[in-house]
Structure 1
Amino acid sequence: LHTVQPAACETVPVYKENQREYTLIKTRCFGTLLQMEVGALLVGRIKNYQQEGYVKKGHEKGKFEYGGSTIILLVEPDKVKIASEFFENTENGYETFIKMGECIGKI
């Protein structure tokens, strides 16, 4: 598995080669979201607990076994206005660390 640092993404197809798991989350406000966990250096496996059914905000969805990784969230077009800091950070080659409950955009 490769690191998910921005520099690695320039030379290796990290998001294509590293282990991935994804979940489709159907919401009232945002439409259908796709949440994808990507294994990174020292992450041996991704374990999602629930395969189908209702989810509750804050409920543990799964875990990365040994190490850290990254999560990708795909949103339907025109459903959310993502905060500009994320685009600015990406353009400047910076990662954006997000904690649960932090605002990443608005309806």
Structure 2
Amino acid sequence: MGSYHLPVWGHITLLVLTILAFAPQLYFLVRKQDSGPISIVYILLNLVVATEQFAVSYFFAIYPTNTKCLICPTYRGIFSHTPLDAGDWLNFAHFLTVFILWLIMYISSFAPSD
């Protein structure tokens, strides 16, 4: 099985599309201060998943596959290249963006309505 490498413009396009996917709900939560259409539990559970994905990607970006990892010495890593290239850093930025957007949604859902 060969590996598939998305070009940098593809990573950037997917990152922009992710942000655009969150835009309508963030608009209602921040501008309208209306959290009625979406469940707080749903936001919380998605925030938990995004936190876990970001934490794992952060760990493997800081401890790349060519160093001795004490926790998991046989794991090859979730990133494609050693050292990390632009596509790997854009993957990491995608995990960070999703985490931040879910965090904003979670905090905004508790904003007091007028």
TM range (shorter): under 0.3
Q: Point out the structure with the larger helix share.
A: 2
TM value normalised by structure 2:
0.22
TM value normalised by structure 1:
0.23
Structure with max Cα Rg = 2
Q: Point out the structure with the larger strand share.
A: 1
